[in-house]
Amino acid sequence: MGVDDLPYLVDAHHHLWDLNACRHTWLAERGAVRFFGDPAPIQKNYHVEDLKADFGVLPVKKSVHIQVGVEVDDSLTESAWLQHQSTQHGLPSAIIAFCDLTRESVSEDLEAHAAHVAVRGVRQIIGRSAEEDRKTGTSGLLSDRLFKRGLQMLASKGLSFDLQLTPPLMQAAASVFSDVPDLKVALCHCGSLSAFDPESMSEWKQGLQALEKLPNLICKISGFGMFNHGWTQDSIAPLVHRVIEIFGPERCTFGSNFPVDKLYASYEETMGTYLKICEVYLPDERDAMFRTVAEKFYSI
């Protein structure tokens, strides 16, 4: 799988949850199909022990937990539970929490999250899919002055922002985030490309090029199973190479998106495929993409 020249791997994007610790909106909703498919097989606890078991033979030594669908009132409970996991099991190495950046209490909320030593930043999802975004209205965050204020507060506190959105929102997001030049931003799932016709591919490429101009942004390559359930190495390799061409190996990193992508492939198949695709790059470039970019960005 091409790990011989790498000291170890960092999984820059995965999830953990305990359904008894706090309420996760979509994990608690039974029978509803999401934009990534039927979540029923993963609507159960997923702890560090489960993640480590999924690693298989891959030498994953550090990891980054990304918030997933927790309700606002439970977000601090989630951070506390995750910090306990990190302290007890050594993973996750970094926690990206949920915080509503439009709340009047945002400063106090961020300080409460940051009191947990593994917390490095926040994700507040802007876009998931066109259908779900019409229901949630989250794309409206890009025109919300309170959201921009929250982003500025994140930067002032030395916290980062994980940016999940869809290609039609990329140009507007590039404009918003350019006004917060000191904020470190990690683009999730390389922009969530879900349509593969020429027009959609062009929109995605142009959006990535606009976001690439943000000097403190890295791109996380992950989540292909959500939008192409039958993905193969051949089908995703051109997309991976295009992302690396735009951002360069020094600004790209890889994540499993487990256990969501576990719906469609094993951990070794997912991360192993990324490793195989990247065998064409130099050893130091591979080490950057599978280890040091994430370590530097998330300070782990």
Structure tokens at 104: 């009047």
Residue 117 lies in a domain: yes
- Higher local confidence (pLDDT), 136 or 91: 91
Residue 212 lies in a domain: yes
Is the pLDDT at 1 greater than 60? The verdict is no
Residue 179 CA, distance from chain mean position: 22
Residues 234-262 have a mean pLDDT of: 98
Is the pLDDT at 265 greater than 60? The verdict is yes
Domain total for the chain? 1
> From its phi and psi, is residue 95 left (phi > 0), alpha (psi between -120 and 50) or beta?
beta
Residues 254-273 have a mean pLDDT of: 98
Identify whether the C-beta of residue 80 lies closer than 8 Å to the C-beta of residue 116: yes
Residue 3 lies in a domain: no
> Whole-angstrom Cα distance, residue 98 to residue 117?
15
Amino acid letter, 7: P
Is the pLDDT at 128 greater than 70? The verdict is yes
Tens digit of pLDDT for each residue in 266-283?
Answer: 999 999 999 999 999 999
Residue 182 lies in a domain: yes
CATH number of the domain enclosing 18: 3.20.20.140
> Whole-angstrom Cα distance, residue 149 to residue 106?
9
Identify whether the C-beta of residue 97 lies closer than 8 Å to the C-beta of residue 73: no
Determine what percent of the chain is predicted with pLDDT higher than 70.
Answer: 99
Residue 131: the pLDDT is 78
Tens digit of pLDDT for each residue in 9-59?
Answer: 999 999 999 999 988 888 888 888 888 989 999 999 999 999 999 999 999
Q: Would you give the DSSP letter of residue 242?
A: H
Residue 35: the pLDDT is 87
pTM, two decimal places: 0.96
Residue 291: the pLDDT is 98
Cis omega before residue 41 (within 30°)?
A: no
Tens digit of pLDDT for each residue in 149-203?
Answer: 999 999 999 999 999 999 999 999 999 999 999 999 999 999 999 999 999 999 9
List the domain range (segments joined by +) for residue 22: 9-298
Determine what percent of the chain is predicted with pLDDT higher than 90.
Answer: 87
Residue 129: the pLDDT is 83
Q: In 213-257, where does DSSP find H-type helix?
A: 224-227, 233-247
Q: What is the mean pLDDT of the chain?
A: 95
63 Cβ contact partners less than 8 Å away, ≥ 6 residues apart: 10, 11, 12, 14, 51, 91, 92, 93, 94
Residue 1 lies in a domain: no
Structure tokens at 70: 């927790």
Residue 80 lies in a domain: yes
Residue 2: the pLDDT is 63
Residue 21 lies in a domain: yes
Question: For tokens 């490095």, what's the residue?
Answer: 120
Residue 36 lies in a domain: yes
Residue 202: the pLDDT is 98
Phi, psi (degrees; rounded to nearest 5) at 238: -60, -35
